[in-house]
């Protein structure tokens, strides 16, 4: 029902909109068009988004153009038209342009509790990457897109994909690993799935926001070749394959220029080389100038208009910023609104479907949890053979961990969603889920604060399952890979007391495990989402066969990393581990990101990139390879066979070693395919490999270069397990 007293005057050319009683007033212009406006030429759906944008821009005043290139304030600062999200771009009702309602939505829609709403917490996006499954990445984005529309948002601020150069980065949980091809293709499917729901998608943080320490003052130093072959290759793949409506520029500087006023990144590369048609939006407060930023390629300042309001208007009027550049900024924004469908099919609002969301979340948690170790087939568990189980640590009696900052989703029943705020645990009980699988066993919980009591419980039980955690959040990095709060000592004590000890890790990225040789099994569940406990139980008891693979390398210790300390982190009293002054972030490892560093430096990782065990086994055979001619792709063919007694899925990985003249790290991931096989079943896999993935970036040519020489293709189950190899000449 509508309340006549809540009719809002939305401006000339539109009929009044009625807002349901008690609901925040949100302008949904496509529902309120007058006949005259509906007949405007730019409302013709048969025209291209570019043409429609041109037509509507012809009708705009200078002030209206300026209004579109900056935000109206973050959260509720933009007034009653705000939907309560991270920000809003005020629309132009007389022209039928809606408000763009922007929502943080990395792993689910943030800050729903403030509006009395529910949002599904999905597993962290690093778990999405660990599935190595493009279809699941697509569904991950689609679910977020649906829930955004359900809550009257038409734009997402998710899509994080900075590479894991720094394994202690506080935001690794909301990124997609260390490899550019894996990250790029996962992110592309995420944004495609999201935008298919008629929501504007985003990819961020462009570029090299690979650590939180000093993110607003640090200057990333990196050569152009290393840039193009690492983080920027990931963005290139995601942008060209995913076609996002927005790209968010980052806080940091890159080689001397702020990312949000870096002409090379925003114009030369993103728009001119990659053909990006959407608009560049700044991270919140990442704009530093009016004219320089606009001329460099920034299209929209958030969350307000400090630089792209009156200051930009004066710069346009004086000619410091050409009117053509302002028109391009506006064109990109309006074109994106038409292309995304938010004008023709705006969100109408409905109750979020928590049941569908929970099922998707549980599936991704099951497919994204990595079985790291499994000695003597400790897993899967046999419920009939267990009389007693000790559950120890990490609030496993009630809940699972979530990541903090702008990716924080409110738990059911409300709760804080504060930037950089406290750790939040979600109500999904591993203990209860395990009890449901083993109803006849005595299952006892110990919080783990007293190691002796925990060890005593473990000793009196058939099996001990220790839960350990590593909370991470936007705004700060970890100082070390070592687990906090003496959890390593807890695991050691339990493992000494019971030879059948399983460790469950809830972390946002890699963790050191000095106890790994003394436990029988370990499984990484990341931050597993609203059904994390249930997903874990399905894995532990074999209802689901693990198939996830690590999207990053786990180092044994900080000493094995390219930077034993996070660049710029000064651990002085009172600093909280944050940098205290502007500094250079000199990524001296260059091309050697993640597994490429460990290969090049001949370091043994704790667990390799691509590693992940199953309850069945797989064999590889019959590898052949051919190099393509000209621009045609190379092709690799091989066979995978399930040699075990359970159905299972294997992410079969193809790596390439380039000719010595390339001066590259020893190998790089170039392709993969995830295949599901019944016991005894085999499948021939044929993969085309893009020439760019076998090339180096030639700085002199300013282009990719496929060198002549010998190319060695390696195939297997991880970067350190490649039983097949063949060499071909180009």
Q: In this predicted structure, what is the pLDDT of residue 629? A: 84
Of 243, 482, 246, 502, nearest to 372 by C-alpha is 502
The one-character DSSP state at 439 is T
How far is residue 394's CA from residue 431's CA, in Å, rounded to a whole number? 11
Mean pLDDT across the stretch 400-422?
73
Whether the Cβ atoms of residue 465 and residue 378 lie closer than 8 Å to each other: no
Tell me the pLDDT of the chain averaged across its residues: 93
Which pLDDT belongs to residue 265?
Answer: 98
More confident residue, 79 or 327: 327
Confidence of residue 582 (pLDDT cuts 50, 70, 90): confident
* Nearest alpha carbon to residue 341 among 139, 172, 148, 137: 148
Amino acid 679: pLDDT: 98
Residues 6+ positions from 267 with CB-CB distance below 8 Å? 296, 297
Evaluate if residue 572 carries a pLDDT over 50: no
Tell me the sheet residues that pair with 635. Answer: 626, 688
Q: Where in the chain is the domain with CATH 2.60.40.10?
A: 618-729
Q: How many Cβ atoms are within 10 Å of 415's Cβ, its own excluded?
A: 16
516-545 confidence digits (pLDDT tens): 999 999 999 999 999 999 999 999 999 999
CATH fold label, 40-80+108-340: TIM Barrel (3.20.20)
Q: In what order do the strands lie in the sheet with 668-677?
A: 668-677, 648-657, 710-716, 724-729
CATH class of domain segment(s) 368-559: alpha beta
Using the structure block, give the residue that is written with the tokens 């309001």.
309
Residues of the chain with CATH 3.20.20.300: 40-80+108-340
pLDDT of residue 645: 96
Over 70: is that where the pLDDT of 571 sits? no
pLDDT tens column, 167-188: 999 999 999 999 999 999 999 9
Q: How far apart are CA 285 and CA 266, in angstroms?
A: 17
State the span(s) of the chain assigned CATH 3.40.50.1700: 368-559
Q: 117 by DSSP, 3-state: which?
A: coil
pLDDT digits (tens, 9 = 90+) for 192-218: 999 999 999 999 999 999 999 999 999
Tokens 């809940």, located at residue: 399
Helix axes 134-150, 180-195, angle to 10 degrees: 40
What is the C-alpha to C-alpha distance for residues 648 and 375, in angstroms, rounded to an integer? 19
Q: What is the pLDDT of residue 687?
A: 98
C-alpha distances in Å from residue 119, one per residue of 122, 127, 382? 9, 18, 35
> pLDDT band at residue 400, thresholds of 50, 70 and 90?
very high
- Give the C-alpha separation, 216 to 357, whole Å: 35
Q: What is the pLDDT of residue 578?
A: 58
How is 398-429 classified by DSSP, letter by letter?
Answer: T-EE--BSTTPPPPTT-----TT----EES--
Residues 6+ apart with CB under 8 A from 53: 42, 330, 331, 334, 335, 338
Q: Looking at the predicted structure, is the pLDDT value of residue 254 above 50?
A: yes
**Whole-number pLDDT of residue 79:** 78
Determine the pLDDT at residue 423.
82
Distance CA 201, CA 182 (A): 19
**Model confidence pLDDT, tens digit, residues 215-235:** 999 999 999 999 999 999 999
Listed residue (188, 190, 191, 167) closest to 178, CA to CA: 167
Give the bridge partners for 219, in sequence order: 253, 584
The fold adopted by the segment(s) 618-729 is Immunoglobulin-like (2.60.40)
The pTM of this model reads: 0.94
Per residue, the 3-state secondary structure of 350-369, as one string, reads CCCCHHHHHHHHHHHHHHHC
Q: Which residues contact 628 (CB under 8 A, 6 or more apart)?
A: 634, 635, 691
Residues of the chain above pLDDT 90, percent: 87
- Other Cβ atoms less than 10 A from the Cβ of 673: the count is 17
Count the Cβ atoms, other than its own, within 10 Å of residue 444. 16
**Token pair in block for residue 304:** 């307000």
DSSP state of 302: S
Residue 2's pLDDT band (cuts 50, 70, 90):
very low
Q: What is the pLDDT of residue 409?
A: 93
Cβ atoms of 27 and 17 within 8 Å: the answer is yes
- The pLDDT value given to residue 580: 66
CB-CB contact of 684 with 638 (8 Å)? yes
Write down the pLDDT at residue 337.
98
pLDDT higher for 466 or 73? 466
- At residue 576 the predicted structure's pLDDT band, cuts being 50, 70 and 90, is low
Least confident of 80-89, 409-418, 447-456: 409-418
| Per-residue pLDDT reduced to its tens digit, 75-122 | 767 778 889 899 999 999 999 999 999 999 999 999 887 778 899 999
The CA distance from 680 to 695, in Å, is: 37
Q: Which residue has the higher pLDDT, 30 or 679?
A: 679
Structure-token pair, residue 491: 């695991």
Q: Residue 469's closest CA among 433, 424, 500?
A: 424
Q: Read off the pLDDT band of 575 (50, 70, 90).
A: low
485-524 pLDDT tens trace: 999 999 999 999 999 999 999 999 999 999 999 999 999 9
Q: Report cis status (omega within 30 of 0) of the bond before 380.
A: yes
Flag whether pLDDT at 420 surpasses 50.
no
Alpha carbon separation from 352 to 16, 85, 113, 120, 148 (Å, rounded): 27, 16, 13, 9, 9
Other beta carbons within 10 angstroms of residue 31's beta carbon come to: 13
Structure tokens at 218: 């640090």
Cβ-proximal residues to 272 (8 Å cutoff; 6+ apart), any chain = none
Q: Is the dihedral of CA 581, 582, 584, 585 positive or negative?
A: positive
Q: What is the pLDDT of residue 529?
A: 97
DSSP annotation of 51 reads H
27 falls in which pLDDT band (50, 70, 90)? very low
CA distance 33 to 94: 9
User: What CA–CA distances, in Å, run from 7 to 27, 33, 84, 252?
Assistant: 11, 15, 20, 45
CA angle 21, 81, 349 (to 5 degrees): 55
CB contact set of 324 (below 8 Å; sequence gap of 6+): none
A 10 A CB-CB count for 727 gives 10
* CA dist., res. 560 & res. 604, Å (int): 9
Mention every residue, 6+ apart, whose C-beta is less than 8 A from residue 377.
Answer: 615
Q: Is the pLDDT of residue 189 over 90?
A: yes
If DSSP codes are grouped into helix, strand and coil, which group holds residue 632? coil
Average pLDDT of the segment spanning 557-576? 80
């Amino acid at each position: 029902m509508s309340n006549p007293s809540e009719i809002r005057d939305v401006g000339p050319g539109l009929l009044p909109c009625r807002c349901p009683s008690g609901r925040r007033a949100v302008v949904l212009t496509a529902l309120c068009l007058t006949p005259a406006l509906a007949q405007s030429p730019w409302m013709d759906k048969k025209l291209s988004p570019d043409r429609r944008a041109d037509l509507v821009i012809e009708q705009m005043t200078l002030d209206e153009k300026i209004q579109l290139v900056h935000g109206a304030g973050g959260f509720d600062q933009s007034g009653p038209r705000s939907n309560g999200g991270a920000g809003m771009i005020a629309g132009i009702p007389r022209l039928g342009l809606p408000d763009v309602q922007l929502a943080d939505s990395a792993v689910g829609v943030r800050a729903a509790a403030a509006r009395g709403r529910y949002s599904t917490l999905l597993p962290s996006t690093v778990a999405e990457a660990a599935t190595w499954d493009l279809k699941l990445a697509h569904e991950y984005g689609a679910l977020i897109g649906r829930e955004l529309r359900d809550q009257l948002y038409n734009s997402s601020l998710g899509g994080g994909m900075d590479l894991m150069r720094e394994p202690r980065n506080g935001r690794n949980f909301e990124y997609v690993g260390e490899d550019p091809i894996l990250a790029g293709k996962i992110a592309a499917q995420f944004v495609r799935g999201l935008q298919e729901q008629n929501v504007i998608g985003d990819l961020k943080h462009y570029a090299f926001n690979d650590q939180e320490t000093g993110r607003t003052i640090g200057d990333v130093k990196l050569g152009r070749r290393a840039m193009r072959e690492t983080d920027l290759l990931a963005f290139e793949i995601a942008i060209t394959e995913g076609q996002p409506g927005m790209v968010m520029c980052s806080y940091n500087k890159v080689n001397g220029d702020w990312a949000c006023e870096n002409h090379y990144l925003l114009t030369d590369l993103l728009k001119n080389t990659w053909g990006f048609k959407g608009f560049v939006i700044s991270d919140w407060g990442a704009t530093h100038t009016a004219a320089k930023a606009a001329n460099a390629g920034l299209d929209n300042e958030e969350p307000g208009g400090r630089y792209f309001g009156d200051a930009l208007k004066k710069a346009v009027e004086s000619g410091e910023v050409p009117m053509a550049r302002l028109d391009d900024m506006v064109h990109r924004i309006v074109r994106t609104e038409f292309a995304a469908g938010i004008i023709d099919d705006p969100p109408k609002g409905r109750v979020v479907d928590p049941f569908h969301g929970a099922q998707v979340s549980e599936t991704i948690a099951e497919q994204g949890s990595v079985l790291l170790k499994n000695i003597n087939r400790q897993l899967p568990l046999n419920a009939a053979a267990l009389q007693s189980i000790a559950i120890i640590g990490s609030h496993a009696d009630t809940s699972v961990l979530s990541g903090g900052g702008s990716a924080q989703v409110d738990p059911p029943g409300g709760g804080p969603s504060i930037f950089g705020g406290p750790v939040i645990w979600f109500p999904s009980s591993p203990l209860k889920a395990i009890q449901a699988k083993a109803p006849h066993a005595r299952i006892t919980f110990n919080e783990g604060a007293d190691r002796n009591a925990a060890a005593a419980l473990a000793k009196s039980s058939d099996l001990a399952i220790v839960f350990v955690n590593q909370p991470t959040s936007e705004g700060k990095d970890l100082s070390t890979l070592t687990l906090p709060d003496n959890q390593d000592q807890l695991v050691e004590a339990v493992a000494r007391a019971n030879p059948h000890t399983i460790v469950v890790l809830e972390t946002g990225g890699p963790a050191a495990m000095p106890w790994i040789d003394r436990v029988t099994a370990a499984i990484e569940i990341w931050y597993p989402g609203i059904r994390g406990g249930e997903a874990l139980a399905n894995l532990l008891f074999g209802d689901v066969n693990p198939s996830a693979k690590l999207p990053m390398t786990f180092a044994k210790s900080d000493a094995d990393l390219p930077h034993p300390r996070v660049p710029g982190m000064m651990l002085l009293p009172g600093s909280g581990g944050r940098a205290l002054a502007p500094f250079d972030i000199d990524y001296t490892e260059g091309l050697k990101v993640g597994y490429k560093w460990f290969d090049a430096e001949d370091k043994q990782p704790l667990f390799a990139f691509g590693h992940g065990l199953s309850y069945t086994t797989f064999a590889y055979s019959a590898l052949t390879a051919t190099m393509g001619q000209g621009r045609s792709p190379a092709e690799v063919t091989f066979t995978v066979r399930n040699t075990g007694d359970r159905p299972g899925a294997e992410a079969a990985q193809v790596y390439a070693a380039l000719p010595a003249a390339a001066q590259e790290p020893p190998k790089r991931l170039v392709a993969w395919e995830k295949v599901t096989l019944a016991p005894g079943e085999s499948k021939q896999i044929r993969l085309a490999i893009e020439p760019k993935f076998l090339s180096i970036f030639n700085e002199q040519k300013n282009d990719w270069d496929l060198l002549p020489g010998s190319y060695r293709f390696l195939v297997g189950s991880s970067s350190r397990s490649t039983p097949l190899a063949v060499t071909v000449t180009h």
